C-alpha cells in the first residue's frame, strides 16, 4: 500500500511525471503575467500623458483667464452714465479749459473732441525759436497762473513772459443743443522794464481728433477770418478770429497774418507741425517803422529721416488749422466760438458784452469765495485773499478730461498690454510736470474742490471708480492717450496690478458725508446719497482689494507691494506705491515688512466704509469690527511702536549701515579707460540686515497722529508732539520737514541720479494732515489738548506765510519747500495738493 508503483510507458514518448507538469503550469502562468505588467505600464503612461495634457491645457486656460483679469472691467453698473459728460446731460460743463498741459486751450468732455488752443512767440528776439505751447518748466516763464476760475463759466489767467504779459480770459454762454458759445480775449502788455514794445505772434488753432471736419474762410489774401466745422458732439460750429485792437473801444491795429491748413496724426504732434512749418520769408511792415523779416507759419513739410526706415504712423490724420497774427504790444484780440444750434442768442459775446459778462462772473466768484472760505472775516489782507483765490482757481483750471488706454501688466502677462479705453475727469498735480491723473493726489485735490463744487467732486470720483477692473484695482497713474504718454518717461508708463497707492479718495468721501449730514437740505449735497449708492458696489471691491492684496506677515498688519528690487543701486529701495517714494523703509525689501502708514490708511478707510454702509442701509458690521481692531492703540503699539526711537515705525529686514560707494572697475595696464564701463555709485552694506524696527523718524512715524488713530489720552501723543516741535528733528519755520535731521538718510541721495525727495523737504499735503490733526486734538479733551492747540497755531501760521511769500517772490506755488530756507523747489506750478493752503487759511478740516 505504501509502496509507489512504477509506470510503464511504451513507444518513443518521453516519460511524463507529475513533477514535470507543475512547472509547466507555472510557466504558463508566468507567460500570462508578463503581458499584463506591460499593459499596465502602458495604461499608466497613457493616463499620465492624458492627465498631463489636461493639466497643461488647464494651466494654459487658467493663465490665459488670469492674464485677462487685469484688463477686465468691473462688472457692476458704472457709477456715471455713459452720457453724463455730453452736452445734452451736462451742458454747463461740456466746454472747459480741460487741457491743463497747454498754457491756454479748450476742449469738450468727449472722447474725440475738437480741441482749440493758443501758442505764441516773441519776434525779433535773441532766441531763434521761443515758441510756447505746452506748459514747460524749461520755458522759464516768470509765472503763469489762473487768477480766477470758477470751474464752470469763466476764467482769467495771467502769463508773464520775459518782457510782456499775456492775460487770457474766457467766458461761456449756454444755449442750443451742443454746449453753447464761448469767447476768448487775449490782452498783451509790455513790462515797464522793456526798452521797446515787443512784437508778438499769437498762434490760434483748432484741431480735429480723428473725427470732425474743419474748413477755412479767408479775407484779405493771408488773413484767416474764420473756421467752420462739424463734429458729432458739436454739430455745426464757427470760430471767428477778430482783428487786434489797442483796447475794447479803439480802432484796429496793424498786424501781419499767416495761416496753415494741414493734417495731423495726433494731438501730441501739433507743436512739431507748427515748428516745422515756420519760415523767415515774411515781412513785418508797420506804417511807421522799419521793415523786418519775421517768423511765420508757411507750408508744413514733414521731416525726412535719411538712411532710416521709420514706420508710417497708422493713425487716421485729422484736420489742423492755424491762424497767426503778429502785432506789437499793447493789443487785445478776441476769438469767438458759436454753436450752430444756438438759434436764439441775444447778441454776440464780444466787446463790451463780454466785458459785462466777465464783470458779472467775477463778482459772483468773489461773493461765493468769501461765503465758503470766509478769509475776509478772518482778517486776511487782500493780497493774501488774492493768493488764495489763485490757488483754488489753479486747481479748477487744472481739471483735465482725458481719454485713452493705460498700459498695464500682471504677473500672468509676459508683456504689457492695453487696458480698455476709458475717460477720466480729474485734477492734475502740475500742469508742467505731472499733467495727468494720480490716484493718491486726487483724494487731496478733492478735499479742496468739494468745498467749492461738490458735484465736480462726485463726477471726478465717479470717473476714477469707473476705471476699476474686476479685481478691484485702479491704475494709480492714469496715462491715457498718446498726448499724455508723450510727456511720461518710458519706465513709468506700465502700471502693475499688484501695486496700490494710498486710498485718499476716502478722505474726499468723508468730506461728502460730512456735508450731507450738516447740509442735508441744500441742493448741492442732496445728490450725494444716490451717488454713494451707485458707487458702493465698486467701493466694496476696492476696499477688499486693499485688504487682501496688501496684507502683512502678521494678522491685521499691512505691507506695500511694488518696492524697488534692484537693491544694489539704491541707498534705500524706493516705495513709489506708498506715495512717499524714497522715504526710508527697511533697507532690504522682504515679505516680513510691516508699514505703519498703510495700517493707518486701512484703519481710516474701514471706518469710512462702515459709515457709508450704515448710511445706505447696507451691512456694516464687518467694516466696523475691522475698524475697531485696526484703531486699537494696543495693537498699533505692538506692531509699530519702537521703544528705541520712542516713535511709531515700520518693521522689516533692515540695517542702517549702508552707503553709496563708487564701484571699482578694473582697467588692465595700458588699456584706454574710456573703453571700460563708467564706475557707478552702488550700495555698500557694512553690516548685515536683521529683522527690526526701521527707526526713521519722519512723516511715516506721524501717521497714527495724522489720521487721528491715536486716542487723545495716549501717552504716545506726547512723544509725537515733542518730536514735531523739535527744530533738530521735524520742526522748521516753514512747516514740518519730511525726515528728521537726526536720521542717517536725511538729505542723502538715493542713487547717483536721484536727489533726496521725501528726505527733508517740506510737503504741503502731509503738513495739511498735521494741521488738521492738531486742530482735532486741540479741540478734544485730553492731557495734551493745550499743547496741540499751541502747536496748531504756530504750524498753520508758518505754512501759510511761507507758501504765500514764495508765491509772491517767484510767481509759483511749488511741489515742496526747502526745510532750511523755505524756498520753493521741485515741480512748478504745483497747484495740486499744495493748494490745500487755502483750507488751512479757512480752517476747514
Of the candidates 550, 560, 542, 652, the one whose C-alpha atom is nearest the C-alpha of residue 605 is 542
Residue 12 pLDDT greater than 80, yes or no:
no
Contact between residue 121 and residue 201 where contact means Cβ atoms under 8 Å apart: yes
- In 43-129, at which residue ranges do the beta strands (DSSP E only) sit? 95-96, 105-108, 115-122
Separation CA 428–CA 436 (nearest Å): 5
431-443 pLDDT, tens per residue? 999 999 999 999 9
- pTM of the entire predicted model: 0.91
Question: Of 330-344, 473-487, 557-571, where does the model show the most confidence?
Answer: 330-344
Confidence class of residue 665 from pLDDT cuts 50, 70 and 90? Answer: confident
Residue 1 pLDDT greater than 80, yes or no:
no
Instruction: Phi first, then psi: give them for residue 249, nearest 5 degrees.
Output: -105, 5
- Among residues 209, 471, 582, 815, the one annotated as catalytic is 815
Separation CA 431–CA 814 (nearest Å): 12
Residue 516 pLDDT greater than 60, yes or no:
yes
Separation CA 579–CA 697 (nearest Å): 17
Separation CA 836–CA 504 (nearest Å): 14
Look at residue 110 and give its three-state secondary structure: coil
Residue 814 pLDDT greater than 80, yes or no:
yes
Contact between residue 413 and residue 431 where contact means Cβ atoms under 8 Å apart: no
639-650 pLDDT, tens per residue? 999 999 999 999
Contact between residue 560 and residue 575 where contact means Cβ atoms under 8 Å apart: yes
Separation CA 435–CA 136 (nearest Å): 11
Confidence class of residue 195 from pLDDT cuts 50, 70 and 90? Answer: confident
The interaxial angle of helices 382-397 and 439-452, nearest 10 deg, is 120
Chain centroid to Cα 568, Å, comes to: 29
Name the residue with cell 485730553: 782
Provide the pLDDT for residue 669.
Answer: 83
Burial of 560 (0-12, 13-18, 19+ CB in 10 A): buried
Separation CA 375–CA 88 (nearest Å): 37
Provide the pLDDT for residue 282.
Answer: 94
Indicate if the alpha-carbon torsion angle 298, 299, 300, 304 is positive or negative: negative
Q: Which of 87-101, 301-315, 473-487 has the lowest mean pLDDT?
A: 301-315
Contact between residue 800 and residue 841 where contact means Cβ atoms under 8 Å apart: yes
Cell representation of residue 504: 485718499
Q: Assign residue 404 a region: left if phi > 0, alpha if psi is -120 to 50, beta otherwise?
A: left
Separation CA 220–CA 205 (nearest Å): 19
- Among residues 581, 618, 726, 843, the one annotated as catalytic is 581
The pLDDT of 57-63, averaged and rounded, is: 66
Residue by residue, DSSP assigns 362-430 as HHHHHHHHHHHH-TTTTT--HHHHHHHHHHHHHHHHTEEEEEE--EEE-TT-SS-EEPPPEEEEEE-SB
The pLDDT of 163-183, averaged and rounded, is: 96
Separation CA 178–CA 165 (nearest Å): 33
* 237: Cβ contacts below 8 Å, ≥ 6 apart: 114, 178, 228, 229, 230, 231, 337, 338, 339, 340
Determine the straight-line distance between the first and last CA of the chain, rounded to whole angstroms.
Answer: 121
Provide the pLDDT for residue 445.
Answer: 98
Separation CA 12–CA 746 (nearest Å): 112
Which DSSP state fits 694?
-
The pLDDT of 811-821, averaged and rounded, is: 98
Provide the pLDDT for residue 366.
Answer: 98
Provide the pLDDT for residue 522.
Answer: 77
Separation CA 476–CA 496 (nearest Å): 9
Cell representation of residue 773: 490733526
Separation CA 532–CA 617 (nearest Å): 12
Separation CA 435–CA 321 (nearest Å): 25
> For this structure, is 581 an active site residue?
yes
Provide the pLDDT for residue 215.
Answer: 96
Contact between residue 338 and residue 311 where contact means Cβ atoms under 8 Å apart: no
* 233: Cβ contacts below 8 Å, ≥ 6 apart: 86, 87, 108, 110, 113, 114, 178
75-129 pLDDT, tens per residue? 999 999 989 999 999 999 999 999 999 999 999 999 999 999 999 999 988 766 7
Confidence class of residue 35 from pLDDT cuts 50, 70 and 90? Answer: low
Separation CA 801–CA 818 (nearest Å): 14
Q: What separation in angstroms does the CA of 58 have from each of 45, 119, 330, 717, 729? A: 19, 57, 74, 55, 57
C-alpha angle 792/796/798, rounded to 5°? 120
Better pLDDT: 283 or 40: 283
Tell me which long-range contacts 154-158 makes (C-beta under 8 A, separation of at least 24): 154/357, 154/358, 154/361, 154/362, 154/365, 155/97, 155/393, 155/396, 155/397, 156/358, 156/362, 157/104, 157/397
Burial of 184 (0-12, 13-18, 19+ CB in 10 A): buried
Cell representation of residue 480: 491715457
695-754 pLDDT, tens per residue? 999 999 999 999 999 999 999 999 999 999 999 999 999 999 999 999 999 999 999 889
- In 415-491, at which residue ranges do the beta strands (DSSP E only) sit? 417-418, 422-427, 437-438, 477-478
Confidence class of residue 307 from pLDDT cuts 50, 70 and 90? Answer: low
> For this structure, is 815 an active site residue?
yes
HEC assignment per residue over 508-521: HHHHHHHHHHHCCC
Number of H helices, E strands in the chain: 17, 31
Contact between residue 836 and residue 764 where contact means Cβ atoms under 8 Å apart: yes
Contact between residue 241 and residue 224 where contact means Cβ atoms under 8 Å apart: yes
What percent of the chain stands above pLDDT 90? 79
The pLDDT of 196-206, averaged and rounded, is: 95
Separation CA 96–CA 187 (nearest Å): 20
The pLDDT of 182-186, averaged and rounded, is: 98
Separation CA 759–CA 740 (nearest Å): 8
Name the residue with cell 513785418: 284
Confidence class of residue 43 from pLDDT cuts 50, 70 and 90? Answer: confident
Provide the pLDDT for residue 521.
Answer: 55
Cell representation of residue 628: 475697531
- The mean pLDDT of the chain is 91
Name the residue with cell 493663465: 63
Contact between residue 612 and residue 513 where contact means Cβ atoms under 8 Å apart: yes
826-838 pLDDT, tens per residue? 999 999 999 999 9
Cell representation of residue 4: 509507489
The pLDDT of 191-216, averaged and rounded, is: 90
775-810 pLDDT, tens per residue? 999 999 999 999 999 999 999 999 999 999 999 999
Separation CA 639–CA 659 (nearest Å): 28
What percent of the chain stands above pLDDT 70? 93
Residue by residue, DSSP assigns 574-638 as --GGGT-TTS---SS--TT-B-HHHHHHHHHHHHHHHHHHHHHT---HHHHHHHHHHT-HHHHHH
Cell representation of residue 72: 477686465
Separation CA 203–CA 259 (nearest Å): 9
Of the candidates 572, 775, 843, 761, the one whose C-alpha atom is nearest the C-alpha of residue 684 is 572
Residue 22 pLDDT greater than 70, yes or no:
no
Amino acid at each position: 500500500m505504501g509502496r509507489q508503483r512504477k509506470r510503464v510507458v511504451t513507444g518513443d514518448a518521453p516519460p511524463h511525471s507529475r513533477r514535470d507538469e507543475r512547472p509547466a503550469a507555472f510557466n504558463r502562468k508566468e507567460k500570462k503575467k508578463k503581458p499584463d505588467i506591460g499593459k499596465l505600464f502602458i495604461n499608466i503612461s497613457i493616463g499620465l500623458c492624458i492627465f498631463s495634457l489636461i493639466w497643461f491645457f488647464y494651466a494654459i486656460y487658467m493663465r490665459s483667464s488670469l492674464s485677462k483679469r487685469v484688463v477686465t472691467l468691473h462688472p457692476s453698473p458704472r457709477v456715471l452714465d455713459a452720457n453724463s459728460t455730453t452736452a445734452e446731460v451736462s451742458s454747463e460743463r461740456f466746454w472747459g479749459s480741460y487741457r491743463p498741459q497747454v498754457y491756454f486751450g479748450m476742449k469738450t468732455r468727449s472722447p474725440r473732441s475738437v480741441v482749440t488752443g493758443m501758442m505764441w512767440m516773441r519776434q525779433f528776439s535773441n532766441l531763434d525759436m521761443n515758441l510756447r505751447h505746452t506748459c514747460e518748466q524749461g520755458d522759464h516763464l516768470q509765472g503763469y497762473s489762473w487768477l480766477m476760475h470758477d470751474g464752470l463759466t469763466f476764467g482769467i489767467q495771467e502769463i508773464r513772459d520775459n518782457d510782456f504779459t499775456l492775460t487770457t480770459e474766457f467766458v461761456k454762454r449756454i444755449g442750443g443743443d451742443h454746449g453753447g458759445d464761448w469767447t476768448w480775449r487775449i490782452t498783451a502788455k509790455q513790462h515797464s522794464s522793456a526798452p521797446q514794445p515787443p512784437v508778438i505772434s499769437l498762434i490760434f488753432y483748432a484741431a480735429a481728433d480723428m473725427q470732425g471736419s474743419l474748413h477755412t474762410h479767408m479775407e484779405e489774401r493771408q488773413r484767416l477770418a474764420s473756421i467752420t466745422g462739424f463734429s458729432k458732439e458739436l454739430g455745426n460750429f464757427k470760430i471767428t478770429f477778430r482783428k487786434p485792437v489797442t483796447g475794447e473801444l479803439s480802432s484796429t491795429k496793424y498786424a501781419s497774418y499767416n495761416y496753415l491748413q494741414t493734417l495731423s496724426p495726433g494731438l501730441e504732434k501739433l507743436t512739431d507741425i507748427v515748428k516745422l512749418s515756420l519760415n523767415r520769408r515774411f515781412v513785418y511792415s508797420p506804417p511807421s517803422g522799419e521793415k523786418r523779416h519775421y517768423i511765420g507759419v508757411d507750408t508744413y513739410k514733414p521731416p525726412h529721416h535719411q538712411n532710416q526706415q521709420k514706420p508710417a504712423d497708422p493713425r487716421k490724420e485729422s484736420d489742423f488749422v492755424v491762424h497767426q497774427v503778429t502785432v506789437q504790444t499793447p493789443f487785445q484780440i478776441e476769438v469767438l466760438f458759436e454753436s450752430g444750434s444756438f438759434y436764439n442768442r441775444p447778441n454776440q459775446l464780444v466787446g463790451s458784452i463780454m466785458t459785462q459778462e466777465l464783470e458779472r462772473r467775477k463778482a459772483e466768484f468773489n461773493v461765493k469765495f468769501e461765503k465758503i472760505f470766509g478769509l475776509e472775516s478772518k482778517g486776511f489782507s487782500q493780497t493774501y485773499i488774492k493768493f488764495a483765490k489763485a490757488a483754488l482757481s489753479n486747481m479748477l483750471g487744472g481739471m483735465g478730461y482725458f481719454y485713452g488706454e493705460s498700459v498695464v501688466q500682471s504677473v500672468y502677462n509676459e508683456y504689457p498690454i492695453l487696458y480698455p479705453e476709458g475717460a477720466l475727469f480729474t485734477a492734475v498735480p502740475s500742469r508742467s510736470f505731472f499733467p495727468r491723473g494720480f490716484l493718491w493726489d486726487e483724494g487731496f485735490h478733492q478735499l479742496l474742490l468739494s468745498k467749492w463744487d461738490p458735484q465736480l467732486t462726485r463726477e471726478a470720483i465717479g470717473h476714477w471708480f469707473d476705471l476699476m477692473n474686476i479685481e478691484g484695482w485702479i491704475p494709480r497713474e492714469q496715462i491715457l492717450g498718446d498726448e499724455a504718454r508723450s510727456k511720461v518717461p518710458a519706465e513709468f508708463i506700465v502700471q502693475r496690478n499688484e501695486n496700490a497707492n494710498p486710498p485718499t479718495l476716502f478722505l474726499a468721501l468723508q468730506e461728502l458725508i460730512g456735508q450731507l449730514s450738516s447740509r442735508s437740505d441744500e441742493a448741492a449735497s442732496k445728490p450725494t446719497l444716490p451717488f454713494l449708492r451707485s458707487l458702493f458696489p465698486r467701493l466694496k471691491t476696492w476696499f477688499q482689494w486693499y485688504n487682501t492684496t496688501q496684507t502683512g506677515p502678521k494678522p491685521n498688519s499691512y505691507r506695500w507691494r511694488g518696492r524697488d528690487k534692484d537693491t544694489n543701486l539704491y541707498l534705500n529701495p524706493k516705495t513709489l506705491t506708498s506715495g512717499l517714494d524714497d522715504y526710508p523703509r527697511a533697507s532690504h525689501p522682504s515679505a516680513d515688512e510691516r508699514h505703519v502708514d498703510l495700517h493707518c490708511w486701512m484703519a481710516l478707510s474701514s471706518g469710512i466704509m462702515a459709515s457709508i454702509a450704515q448710511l445706505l442701509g447696507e451691512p456694516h458690521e464687518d467694516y466696523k469690527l475691522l475698524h475697531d481692531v485696526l484703531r486699537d492703540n494696543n495693537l498699533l503699539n505692538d506692531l509699530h511702536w519702537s521703544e528705541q526711537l520712542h516713535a511709531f515705525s515700520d518693521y522689516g529686514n533692515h540695517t542702517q549701515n549702508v552707503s553709496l560707494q563708487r564701484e571699482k572697475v578694473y582697467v588692465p595696464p595700458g588699456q584706454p579707460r574710456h573703453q571700460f564701463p563708467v564706475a557707478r555709485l552702488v550700495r555698500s552694506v557694512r553690516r548685515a540686515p536683521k529683522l527690526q524696527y526701521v527707526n526713521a523718524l519722519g512723516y511715516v512715524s506721524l501717521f497714527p497722529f495724522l489720521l487721528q488713530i491715536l486716542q487723545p489720552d495716549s501717552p504716545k501723543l506726547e512723544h509725537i508732539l515733542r518730536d514735531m516741535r523739535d527744530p533738530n528733528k521735524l520742526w522748521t519755520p516753514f512747516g514740518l520737514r519730511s525726515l528728521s535731521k537726526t536720521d542717517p538718510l536725511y538729505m542723502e541721495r538715493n542713487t547717483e541720479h536721484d536727489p533726496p525727495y521725501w528726505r527733508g523737504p517740506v510737503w504741503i499735503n502731509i503738513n495739511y494732515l498735521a494741521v488738521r490733526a492738531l486742530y482735532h486734538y486741540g479741540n478734544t479733551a485730553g492731557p495734551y489738548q493745550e499743547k496741540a492747540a499751541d502747536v496748531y497755531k504756530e504750524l498753520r501760521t508758518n505754512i501759510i506765510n511761507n507758501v504765500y511769500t514764495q508765491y509772491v517772490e517767484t510767481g509759483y506755488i511749488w511741489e515742496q519747500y526747502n526745510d532750511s530756507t523755505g524756498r520753493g523747489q521741485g515741480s512748478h506750478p504745483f497747484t495740486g495738493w499744495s493748494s490745500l493752503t487755502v483750507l488751512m487759511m479757512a480752517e476747514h478740516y
